[in-house]
Structure 1
Amino acid sequence: LYQQKSQNHINTGLEGALRRNRVQPPVLWQDQEWMLRWTLHKKMDRNPLNSAILVKILVKELERAEKGDYRHYIIPLLHTLMYTLIKAPCISDDLYERVYDFCKKLLTLPKPYCTIGLDYAFRLKTERVAPGVLYQRMIISEQSLKSHPYPYQERVFIFADPDMLSKAVCNSLVTEAKASQMYQNPRSCMCYVITRAVQAALGEDCDVESFQRILQVMPTDELEHCFRQVVAAVECTGSEMNADRARHAERLEKIYSMVLNSSAGGGLHGTPLPNPNISFHLWTDEDQLWKELVLFVRPLSQTCEQDCLSQELDNFEIQDIVSDCDCCEQTRFSVLSTDSGIERDLPAAGEELLPPGGTDVEHARLQRKGGIKKKACLLESMTLLQNSCNGPGAKQSGKLHRKSDSNVVPMLHLHRLYTARIVVLGDDRVLGRLAQAYYSLRKRETRRVFLTPRLNLQFYYVPVEHTTPGQMELCELAVYLGKADPWYESNINTLCHMIPKLATMPSSLSTHPRSDPFIIDVIAYYVRLGIQPVHFQVYAVKILFGNAAQEPAEDVFLTELSAKVQDCKAPKGIPLHPCLPLSLMCARTHIHHLSRCSLEKVSEKFSRAFSSLFQSAANKIRTRNIKIQSMEQRTFNLCLDKDFRRTYTNVVGVEVSPCLEPSYCLQKTRTMKFSLHESEDVGLAKYMPKSLLLPINTFAGIIQ
């Protein structure tokens, strides 16, 4: 991997292997070096006997990278190796030991090496004791199979803005997404899990062909029973403190014998790793992201007609969702009532739960009926606190103090059983729209917690070049991520130009449905192994208009704010003196944010009267807050995130500052009610991140 000679040798060998195994990479990528990863995994899918050889090669290359101080190759090789281990049907114990020891050595290196090494070391330790557990958990969660021992569910949502992508690109992606899931159904996925667990535990003693034939003709109820037994056995071994691999093999052998009475050696056969459950969405509604997440966490009943979905969600308020939730059966006290009737509302025994720490006397207090109800805020506060402390920018100083006379309330351990992987396709404009949707979602969750305790949100970004030539300046954030993470540059940024080109080529998926859906394969690899986020500061902007009757507008942006004064002329008689006042006159203002230190870079293009003065001077300033006010009653146009659809006209003033986390603002407001002169963060706000950060997942984060 480090010398051109060995690289050519690998490529030459791969070409023959691809021909023998019928792996056809897209024509546009045949000469690209980064195709090596995809072709290696496809080669292993066609012939599982190559998995052990491939693992040995990758482990050797990792050890060479460590000894030769080729640190920048470690993370790409490690990701490729882990993906191979998940796909491989059977790996020897000594190979697991070598990989595990290498991951432990990474703990002595700085981030992100130590972070990735620790995560993979933990996974390898579990996989070594219970072979196949990583594959099993991935299939169960991604395909939403019902399993009590492992109840987690995942879904990939691809959002594409139809105004940014051509119709051909959207149709091509939809075709690939459908083709990748054409042969995926719960029954086949259950067969994959059963076969893989038995084969990983028994190795070559498993007659895979006969075993698969029996599973395919097995009645559905018997197949589900066998699936539950296998999942329970693997999860039991994986969760044991002192798990024994031999005992795990005995458990799986009993299940294997129940299905197949003979144990004739059948050799290794491949068990496919199907792509995750992917849904493709054209982003046409501002609340579409939130609606899809609500349906994922709380799907509609099967009797509900699909046509009424949009109408129901339009009238779906947060309080309506929470009122039907199982976790919100506590008493909800009213804060507003339209009637004057007050009555004592004591529930029957066992009908309602007492508030945590509450007494019978407290529960028997007067209640209002017929008004807007709100439950006690304890669960909300605990949920927001846990969510914030686990997120970026959380404040870890100090301990959670309670007053001596207050009730001791234990911290609730809230499990997020759902994971939504949001993949956005487009350029910087779609990321600006994502920042808007994320901020709106956080505001909803602050008013009434619903998704936070259940849902884990992961964001991914696949840049796609705009159909108009010469628009690469719209993909600046993708360029930044590529420089921060070379493996992101190799696997994801290369799709920027190629996705539009592939859309214009005839697809083989229509004539050969079993062909490899290349783009979906790469996206699946990205969402599965892209576990290191890069956090971007979201900025809030307050816009003042020339019409005094028009209310100020509030918005957010992620990458850029630009303002242009129409027909602005330089005033006469202003001396070009170095001692300028703080108020500078300019015709165009450009606020650009792509910095690690969460500062915006302000570049001002001054009028001709000041051009000679600032030609060599620093026309870029760094600041966290900026206020722009129009002089002489002139108005200007304001554009956010390079998106012409987010253009404000008749603007006379704008204020820009880092966007605050809505949950932090809520706790801060509550605190200020009781201490009006308190300037520092106290209470729960002390442990919450102050700024709202948008995390974009990459393979390595920012490599130092």
Structure 2
Amino acid sequence: MENPEVESDFLRSVHALLRELDGHHPAFQSERGMLRWTLHKKIERNPSNGVLLIKILVKELERAERCNYRQYIIPLLHTLMYTLIKTPSIPDDLYERVYDFCKKLLTLPKPYCTIGLDYAQQVKRERTIPGILYQRMVSAEQSIKNDSYPFQEKVFMFADPDLLSRAVCRALIDEIRAAQTFQCARSCMLYVIERASQTALKGHCDVKNLHGILQVKPLDVIEHCFQQVMAAATAEHKGREMSAEYNQYAEEVGKIYNRLLSEKEKDVQKVEAERSQGIPLPNPNISFHLWRDEDQLWKELVLFLRSPSQSSEQDSVSGELDCFEFQDLVPDYEHGEWTRFSVLSNDSGIERDLPMAGDESPSSCSVEAEHSRLQRKGCVKKKGTSLDSLPFLQSGCDGRGAKPAGKLHRKSGGSVMEPIVPMKRLHTARVLVLGDDRVLGRLAQAYYSLRKRESRRAFLTKRLKVEFYYVPVVEEQPASSKEEYAVFDQTEPCEIAAYLGRVDPWYENNINTLCHMIPKLATMPSSPSKMAVSELFIIDVIAYYVRLGLQPVFFQVYAVKLSFNNGTLEPVEDIFLIELSATLEESNSSRDGLPMKKKPTVDVPGMDLTLSYKKVLLSNREKEESVSLRSTGLLMKAIPSNEIEGKDYDLVCLHVNIAEVVKTSNLSGRSYSLTTNTIRTRNIKIRNTEHRSFTVRLDKDSRRVYKNVVSIEVCPCLEPSYCLQKTKNKQANPQEEEDVGLAKYLPKALLLPINTFAGIVQ
């Protein structure tokens, strides 16, 4: 029976959520995200109230769709689905209303139709087999060995120790450990068995009694019951109606439940009172990493694939991983040759290379003999078919294989390109980085390195899905570091987080609120209640983010080539994601040594530059431009700022702000003024015409500073697999200029996907 007081409380909370989305209450700015977290905590404490909350959310969704309040739809829908996963028993008519609403979203543009289709499929599956979403989520997130649903997920939390203090890292580690205290594999299997019995048998299941029985069972019995429950939920009943499939599932779960009750032991009564009121949803498996090594992301992903196998298919993968060395994972197609170990055979097939009879140890051969032997040239393992070796089949950022470099607007909500050859990727790595924009610049470098490795030898992407998440964290910095290399007014340290908050209000409310809350967590005094599982706000929000934040926003990665005034130094190639700033270096030479007649009356700052670029227009045309000017510095922004009017902020292009020195003449003599010019481009070349140089900094990171630079070339970074394929085509057809063969279908530009709750909301 519904409680009017509870209904009124839920209704007030939901309306407060909607007012928070509108931003009408400035008092909520410092506590955004708390309303949603508090609302879901109420359901965890009393899951029977979940049905009442779902009814309220469905009414609000229908009203938002009827009144065209689209800004409410996605936040309310995410709140509803998370409540649905946590609620054990939902009436069939309520499932029908949710399913019908999700189908209505298919007529709306992205991201509404994308999210509506995904949730419609989940609701239909949950309606057929109640509790299946909970079972699969727990099984995958905890990597529980399971033959029926052999998927594994893991959250990799990366923190740069140069950007976050030791206290913040320690506080995060303590929360992760506290969250994982009561979510061992045994406990999670118990939760799945209890939840399956509760949803399948409804009022005929005594959850407390079942919990007491399972607590005294040995681990092998619990594993067997878990396997049976998962097999019953994932069994295919082709040709059956929805009701018949549910009846079959309920019958199989009822057999497991009755068998456990018949084996009830005497000491069950001791643990019955320890059972909490609801069945909790364990937090995902999270591992914390201090990002010290440049190749650490790659190594952690390989180690994740080395984890214990779940099926016969994964057993063969583990066997291949055992002989897969890290030094074999460093290909670089820009160099002609590199050292590799052979993976085809251990001997060269040359008779003189074979050991002498009776010589079984390498020490028996002299040093001279070793040097005189013929050396075998490095080689790569041959693939069985050409399709297996195509890196473009793995995870291009454009779902249809189109080339986004020519697109005008930023992409969002697309799916990663799936391979044409069907191959199940049973592992999902959710890489979550914490920090300001500098850590995202480092993530872009690691992503480029990963794509570069995979372009030569597709290994990880054939077996592993990689998704990226970002939680902004900012600590107070000294004033000296804020002014370092400043050209213009200091911009905000989390521009990408601010941009994601503008295009996705639900990200702004739930994730951007952690920016200053996580450092506050480190300063809070420790107390016994602080580490209570029910009060872990940070980990709960991160778990909510990685579970429901499945819509990526794609960011263009830019390549830069720097030349130096020292002719003996080779040009340097690097990439950046957010910005490139260039400041004029102080000159050692002084003008005081010039003759008086040549000395100008006003010392004009800056240096003369020549700019060649392709101007980007709203008509999706590019116009060649070339200009010469005098400047004191420039700033290239890849992330559009909020000040740009209209929808221009969504342009995928560089906004180059140039501090130009304008010379003027008046009655008092010659003078100058400073003005800022802004151009929009994708490709630009900057060269100075004086014997002076400037300092370049990438992605606001003082660790990525280049000095004595005389010229800069910037263009969109190309997908390494596209570069490799085009190089092969040129070798075969030197006269062919356009993309032919497989290069025509490859994603051309390298885009970094960062997941949010909705992608870009139009």
**Do both share a fold (TM > 0.5)?**
yes
Is the 2:474–2:516 contact (alpha carbons within 8 Å) kept by the matching residues of 1? yes
Cα shift at 1:228: 0.6
Kindly indicate whether residue 401 of structure 2 is the aligned counterpart of residue 394 of structure 1: yes
Structure 1 residue 582: deviation in Å? Answer: 2.1
Deviations 1:425-463 (A, max 9, x none): 111111101000100111111122211101101111111
Q: In the alignment, is residue 607 of structure 1 matched against residue 661 of structure 2?
A: yes
Say which of 479, 483, 495 aligns to 1:476. Answer: 495
Specify the alignment match of 1:294 in structure 2.
Answer: 302
Is 1:520 the counterpart of 2:552? The answer is no
Classify 1:390/1:137 alpha carbon distance in 2 versus 1 (closer, same or farther; 3 Å).
farther
Alpha-carbon shift at residue 571 of structure 1 (Å): 7.8
C-alpha displacement of 1:155? 0.5
* Equivalent residues of 1:129, 1:237 under 8 A apart: no
Change over 3 Å in CA distance of 1:340–1:631 after alignment to 2: farther
The counterpart of 1:283, out of the listed 263, 280, 291, is 291
Contact 1:151 1:417 (8 Å CA) reproduced: yes
Give the secondary structure class of the aligned counterpart of 1:605: strand
Q: CA deviation at 1:391?
A: 3.9
Contact 1:337/1:372 (<8 A) preserved: no
Amino acid in the other structure paired with 1:506: P
The letter of the residue matching 1:468 is Q
The answer as to whether partners of 1:44 and 1:50 remain within 8 angstroms in 2 is yes
Whether the aligned pair in 1 keeps the contact of 2:395 and 2:461 (CA below 8 Å) is no
Letter in 2 for 1:600: L
Residues 359-393 of structure 1, C-alpha deviation per residue, up to 9 Å, x if partnerless? xxxxxxxxx99442312254675552322467457
2:559 maps to 540
The AA in structure 2 aligned to 1:191 is L
* SS of residue in 2 equivalent to 1:174: helix
C-alpha deviation, 1:687, in angstroms: 1.3
Residues 427 and 466, structure 1, Cα contact 8 Å, conserved in 2: no
Structure 2 contact 43–49 (Cα < 8 Å) conserved: yes
Letter in 2 for 1:603: N
Aligned 1:250-265 pairs, distance under 5 A: 250-261=251-262
CA distance in 2, matches of 1:610, 1:412: 66
What's the counterpart of residue 675 of structure 1? Answer: 733
What is the one-letter code of the residue matched to 2:278? Answer: G
Counterparts of residues 383-532 of structure 1 (less than 5 Å):
383-388=390-395, 391-392=398-399, 394-395=401-402, 411-468=420-477, 473-508=492-527, 512-532=531-551
Post-superposition offset of 1:506: 1.7
The match for 2:381 among 360, 368, 375 is 375
Paired with 2:672 and 2:7, the residues of 1 have a C-alpha distance of 52
Return closer, same or farther for 1:555/1:176 CA change in 2, 3 Å cut-off.
same
Deviates more, 1:269-278 or 1:112-121: 269-278
Q: Provide the rounded CA distance (Å) in 1 between the counterparts of 2:606 and 2:680.
A: 29
Q: For residue 62 of structure 1, give the secondary structure of its aligned residue in structure 2.
A: helix
SS of the aligned residue for 1:653 comes to: strand
- Could you tell me how far 1:63 is from its partner in structure 2? 1.1
Q: How far apart, in 2, do the equivalents of 1:318 and 1:542 lie?
A: 25
Larger radius of gyration: 2
TM-superposed deviation, 1:13: 6.8
Q: Structure 2 length normalisation: TM-score?
A: 0.75
Report if aligned partners of 2:562, 2:712 keep a CA contact under 8 Å in 1. yes
Q: Secondary structure at the match of 1:686?
A: helix
Q: Give 1:465 deviation, angstroms.
A: 1.6
Which stretch has the larger CA shift, 238-247 or 105-114? 238-247
Runs (5+) with no aligned partner, structure 1: 1-5, 16-27, 302-311, 321-330, 344-367, 398-409, 575-579
- Report if aligned partners of 2:441, 2:578 keep a CA contact under 8 Å in 1: yes
Q: Does structure 2 retain, via aligned residues, the 8 Å contact 1:560–1:640?
A: yes
1:553 aligned residue: 572
In the alignment, what sits opposite 2:688?
Answer: 630
TM-superposition CA deviations, 1:679-701 (whole Å, max 9, x none) = 22222211111000001100011
The aligned counterpart of 1:640 is 698
C-alpha distance in 1 between matches for 2:135 and 2:579:
43
Distance 1:379 1:297 in 2: 24
Q: 1:242 to 1:583 in 2, by over 3 A?
A: farther
The CA deviation at 1:508 is 3.8
8 Å CA contact 2:607–2:632 kept in 1: the answer is: no
User: Counterpart amino acid of 1:280?
Assistant: F
In structure 2, relative to structure 1, the CA distance for the partners of 1:615 and 1:148 (3 Å cut) is: farther
Which of 720, 736, 761 is the aligned partner of 1:662? 720
The aligned residue for residue 196 of structure 2 is 197
TM-score normalised by the chain length of structure 1:
0.81
d(CA) in 2 for partners of 1:200 and 1:694? 40
Find 2:757's aligned residue among 686, 699, 704. Answer: 699
Counterpart code for 1:590:
L
1:299/1:633 Cα in 2 relative to 1: closer, same or farther (>3 Å)? farther
Secondary structure at the counterpart of residue 422 of structure 1: strand
Give the 3 Å change call, closer, same or farther, for CA 233–536 of structure 1 in structure 2: same
Which segment is superposed worse, 508-517 or 62-71? 508-517
Native 8 Å contact 2:403 2:749 kept in 1: no
What is aligned with 2:133? 134
| Correspondence 1:566 to 2:577 | no
Provide, for residues 171-227 of structure 1, a one-character-per-residue CA deviation record: whole Å limited to 9, x for no partner.
Answer: 111111111001111111111111111211111111111111111111111111111
Q: Compared with structure 1, are the counterparts of its residues 300 and 586 closer, same or farther at alpha carbon in structure 2 (3 Å cutoff)?
A: farther
The verdict on how the C-alpha distance between 1:132 and 1:9 changes in structure 2, with shifts beyond 3 A counting, is closer
Structure-2 separation of matches of 1:258 and 1:619: 77
Long gaps (5+) in structure 2: 15-26, 265-272, 310-322, 332-341, 354-373, 405-418, 483-489, 588-602, 609-624, 641-649
- After TM superposition, give the deviation of residue 316 of structure 1 in Å: 3.3
Structure 1 contact 133–238 (Cα < 8 Å) conserved? no
Q: Pick closer, same or farther for the CA change 1:503–1:573 going to 2, 3 Å.
A: closer
CA distance in 2, matches of 1:624, 1:199: 57
What is the alpha-carbon distance in structure 1 between the residues aligned to residue 226 and residue 6 of structure 2? 43
- Residues 393, 690 of structure 1: 8 Å contact kept: no
**Offset of residue 499 of structure 1:** 1.6
Q: Are residues 169 and 626 of structure 1, via their aligned partners in 2, closer, same or farther at CA, if it must alter by over 3 Å?
A: same
Aligned partner of 2:596 in structure 1 is none
> 672-681 or 689-698: which moved more?
672-681
Aligned equivalents of 2:605 and 2:375: distance in 1?
Answer: 65
Superposed, 1:85-100 pairs within 5 Å as: 85-100=84-99
Q: How many residues align?
A: 624
Q: What is the SS of the residue equivalent to 1:316?
A: helix
Contact in 2 for aligned 1:388/1:689 (Cα 8 Å): no
Q: Is the 8 A contact 2:661 2:673 kept in 1?
A: no
Q: Is the 8 A contact 2:397 2:750 kept in 1?
A: no
Q: Is residue 730 of structure 2 the alignment partner of residue 686 of structure 1?
A: no
Could you tell me whether the CA contact under 8 Å between 2:160 and 2:291 is conserved in 1?
A: yes
Q: CA separation in 1, counterparts of 2:700 and 2:182?
A: 41
Q: Alpha-carbon deviation of 1:584?
A: 2.5
Deviation of 1:169 after TM superposition, in Å, equals: 1.4
- Aligned partners of 1:583 and 1:7: how far apart in 2? 69
Asked whether the 8 Å contact 1:508–1:515 carries over to 2, the reply is: no
Structure 1 residues 591 and 619: CA distance shift in structure 2, 3 A: same
- Percent sequence identity is 56
1:587 aligns with 2:632: yes
- 1:402 paired residue number: none
Distance 1:9 1:124 in 2: 26
After superposition, residues 116-127 of structure 1 pair within 5 angstroms as 116-127=115-126
Query: RMSD over aligned Cα, in angstroms?
Result: 3.7
- Deviation of residue 586 (structure 1)? 1.6
CA deviation map 1:276-302 (0-9, x unaligned): 00011111111111111111112499x
Q: Give the SS at the match of 1:679.
A: coil
